[in-house]
Structure 1
Amino acid sequence: MSATVAELTRELVAVPSHEDETAAGDAIEAWLREETTARVRRDAVGNVIARKRREDEDETSGDDSLALVGHHDVVPPDEAQIRDGPESGSELEYVVEERDGRIYGRGAADMKGAVAAAMLAFRDATPPEGCELVFASFVGEEIGGVGARHAIEEGFAPDYAVVGEGSTNYSKPGVTDVVVAHRGRRGITVTAHGVASHASEPAAGENAIYRATDAIDRVRDLEFPAVDVAGETLSGSVVVTEIDGGSAINVVPERCSFTVDERTVPGERADLEALAEIPDVEWTIDQDLPPMECTDEAFVDHVLAAARNSQSNDPELVTKPHATDAGWLSEAGTACVICGPSEPGEAHTRDESVSIAVLERCQETYRRVAESWPR
């Protein structure tokens, strides 16, 4: 039994999960089965989902549900975050260290620390009468929300969710805030078609690179969408990030493509139809991670109050610049907020770490919400 959130975090961070989340999912599932009386299941892609009600209620009591949500996949570790296994030729192990009140290791901040805090809160909380408390740790968040999307397709539909992505030190140092909106991301490939010819006779062809540059000019002129949320302006962006075209120095190219990274905001998208005015230009959307906005003011206020009562500083409602699984849940109809221990600049770094004190703060916040909402 892991007695503290620090101990459980160290255990989870030690399990490699950048290529295969199975072992981390095994550890989470086994802990939930041993430490709780919840109904625990592992779905076809490896998500771990547990559900419980008050001991005096059956599985069909009530209609309201609250989920504590995280993910146990991580991005590939830096060389400094791995070591050889104890036996020669064995699989690599993750390095986990604790010093100066912080836990260091791949996934400590993003987001096994939050998963550990949610697991303990789920175990310890008694949900309100007529309500179902859910714990969910998804796979594939780092590669487009694979696990969350699968769960939603299979009927995962909590009424409310607290997603444990980072919200610490957003409004000011030393505070864990509550995120009520974040940007999404569209990845777009634009392809311009032309007619090849010898470069000595450029007029005999149609230069695809020239058409692509015309399209790039249109992208540069697009207005960035923006919405007002939580007293601040959440702005999107559109930027060309890659270009590829041409086959030889003496050939007028018949094809040129470029990629566009668009950061979307709730309810708004850049007007890509402006590209339709350029002949022989087409585009495809390669990835579309949805933005998130919570418009349920009562739920937002309730989570903010729980966060305030779990720390000495005064948290605020804030926005987040990048997409999370909260976008998929929000798109499916779940009222979502984000509250978690990771700080800006910690995730995906070679010295990724998380504060133990903040983990304890998040555990208490999750427990308070789980015991009082839905009300």
Structure 2
Amino acid sequence: MDAIELTRELVAIPSHDSEAAVGDSIADWLRDHTDAEVRRDDAGADENRGGNVFARKGSGDTTLALVGHHDVVPPDDSQVTDSGEYVIEERDGRIYGRGTADMKGALAAAMVAFAEAEPACELVFASFVGEEVGGVGARRAIENGFAPDYAVVTEGSTGYSAPQTTDVAVAHKGRRGSTITARGEAAHASEVEQGENAIYRATDAVGVVRDLDFPSTEVLGHSVAGSVAVTEIEGGSAMNVLPECCELTVDERTVPGERAPLERVEDIAGVEWTVDQDLPPMACGDPELADAVLDAADDAQENTPEHVVKPHATDAGWLSDAGTDCVICGIAEPGEAHTADESASLAVIERCERIYRRLADSF
């Protein structure tokens, strides 16, 4: 079985509008190449996503899951042919195309590892839909009782400690996106005393946000620091009208167990705060899991991997929040995902297949 060839096959199937077709391909491959129990669920059914894919083999008191996702963000124009097919190219030891790094290369590595492993535990493969739009598949799976003891989420962890080194992330930040709405009373700009300027109230709220301390914590000896920033502002209706409404967008990068006290802005008259999105952070709570995956990564490469912290939210956050101990280990490198020249190293795809298989065989 060839993880690189499987990567080509998966990347060739468009999955930005609907991931149903690539989900079918994943399920068919698992049925053809394993004796595992393979099933689908109804995650994202109302959006024609096709459902999550699960496979299970082995037995034991401990469950280890290899977890990925098969949706991708919309491709750049250069990544699609006139007929709508994805462009796939190979050069200089890398495969280029939408989804190579995020994350069909790692998904292929996990599928091959799952097929070839002789697990020392109950081994589960799971590929979710809708990761790129807030964890649609992961949340549905958890609602339906998906609760492995341990999970390796195959998002990118390569190139964090050193170039071309596949590390193991023991934590990642989450993201809370929110809106601050300041309301006032409209009046003619020549008679400011007759109204209440919503923009002034909004700028008072900006001052509160600017003065907040960034959340921070420590996970397995590694510092994880968050951030808070006002990123958009919109208000006013005309140059000669006192504005009655002004909205601010706030981007907060959260850390395990901590949130910035953004609710303080509501102490200002006429100001309210609403949360629009809250993607949870991840923290590995089991150092033995973190060390076991690091040992497998060390055995599979010449470079020396390290435990690292990942800045981006992933489905590991949902699993961790539900009680599964997680780490992240995968092919994508910083700056590769979601780009017009997205690519993945062929050598690292093969390396990750070795990591996952060695871990499953010994865990």
Give me the TM-score of the superposition, normalised by structure 2: 0.96
Distance (whole Å) between structure 1 residues aligned to residue 17 and residue 207 of structure 2:
39
Q: Check whether the contact 2:71–2:129 (CA below 8 A) recurs between aligned residues.
A: yes
Deviation per CA, 1:168-215, whole angstroms, max 9, x where unpaired?
010011210000000000000000111111112111111111000100
Distance (whole Å) between structure 1 residues aligned to residue 193 and residue 137 of structure 2:
52
Deviation per CA, 1:110-131, whole angstroms, max 9, x where unpaired?
0000000000000011111xx3
1:290-369 alignment, distance < 5 Å: 290-369=280-359
Aligned twin of 2:22:
24
**What secondary structure, in the 3-state scheme, does the structure 2 residue paired with 1:119 have?**
helix
Q: Percent identity?
A: 69
Aligned twin of 1:215:
205
For residue 252 of structure 1, report the CA deviation from its aligned partner.
Answer: 1.0
Q: Check whether the contact 2:266–2:273 (CA below 8 A) recurs between aligned residues.
A: no
Aligned twin of 2:11:
13
Distance (whole Å) between structure 2 residues aligned to residue 12 and residue 305 of structure 1:
29
Q: Which residue, 39, 44, 50 being the options, matches 2:42?
A: 44
For residue 13 of structure 1, report the CA deviation from its aligned partner.
Answer: 0.5
Matching residue's letter, 1:170: Y
Deviation per CA, 1:230-251, whole angstroms, max 9, x where unpaired?
5442210000111111111221
1:138-177 alignment, distance < 5 Å: 138-177=128-167
Distance (whole Å) between structure 2 residues aligned to residue 77 and residue 9 of structure 1:
17
Q: CA RMSD in A?
A: 1.0
Matching residue's letter, 1:243: I
Deviation per CA, 1:313-332, whole angstroms, max 9, x where unpaired?
11000000110000000000
- 1:186 aligned to 2:160? no
Matching residue's letter, 2:359: V
Distance (whole Å) between structure 2 residues aligned to residue 84 and residue 295 of structure 1:
48
For residue 132 of structure 1, report the CA deviation from its aligned partner.
Answer: 1.4
**What secondary structure, in the 3-state scheme, does the structure 2 residue paired with 1:329 have?**
helix
Matching residue's letter, 2:304: D
Gaps of 5+ in 1: 55-61, 86-91
Distance (whole Å) between structure 2 residues aligned to residue 342 and residue 187 of structure 1:
25
For residue 99 of structure 1, report the CA deviation from its aligned partner.
Answer: 1.4
For residue 350 of structure 1, report the CA deviation from its aligned partner.
Answer: 0.7
- 1:265 aligned to 2:263? no
For residue 360 of structure 1, report the CA deviation from its aligned partner.
Answer: 0.8
**What secondary structure, in the 3-state scheme, does the structure 1 residue paired with 2:302 have?**
coil
For residue 100 of structure 1, report the CA deviation from its aligned partner.
Answer: 1.6
Give me the TM-score of the superposition, normalised by structure 1: 0.93
Q: Check whether the contact 1:230–1:318 (CA below 8 A) recurs between aligned residues.
A: no
Distance (whole Å) between structure 2 residues aligned to residue 53 and residue 67 of structure 1:
12
| Runs of at least 4 residues off by over 2 Å | 228-233
Distance (whole Å) between structure 2 residues aligned to residue 122 and residue 95 of structure 1:
28
Distance (whole Å) between structure 1 residues aligned to residue 174 and residue 325 of structure 2:
16
Distance (whole Å) between structure 2 residues aligned to residue 311 and residue 230 of structure 1:
23
Distance (whole Å) between structure 2 residues aligned to residue 114 and residue 280 of structure 1:
49
Q: Which residue, 193, 205, 217 being the options, matches 2:195?
A: 205
Q: Check whether the contact 2:219–2:284 (CA below 8 A) recurs between aligned residues.
A: no
Q: Check whether the contact 1:341–1:355 (CA below 8 A) recurs between aligned residues.
A: yes
Size of the aligned set, in residue pairs, is: 356
Aligned twin of 2:104:
112
Distance (whole Å) between structure 1 residues aligned to residue 220 and residue 356 of structure 2:
21
Aligned twin of 2:47:
none
Deviation per CA, 1:39-86, whole angstroms, max 9, x where unpaired?
1111102111111125xxxxxxx432110000010111011110033x
**What secondary structure, in the 3-state scheme, does the structure 2 residue paired with 1:83 have?**
coil
- 1:93 aligned to 2:85? yes
Matching residue's letter, 2:54: I
Q: Check whether the contact 1:264–1:290 (CA below 8 A) recurs between aligned residues.
A: yes
Matching residue's letter, 1:33: R
Distance (whole Å) between structure 1 residues aligned to residue 36 and residue 222 of structure 2:
40
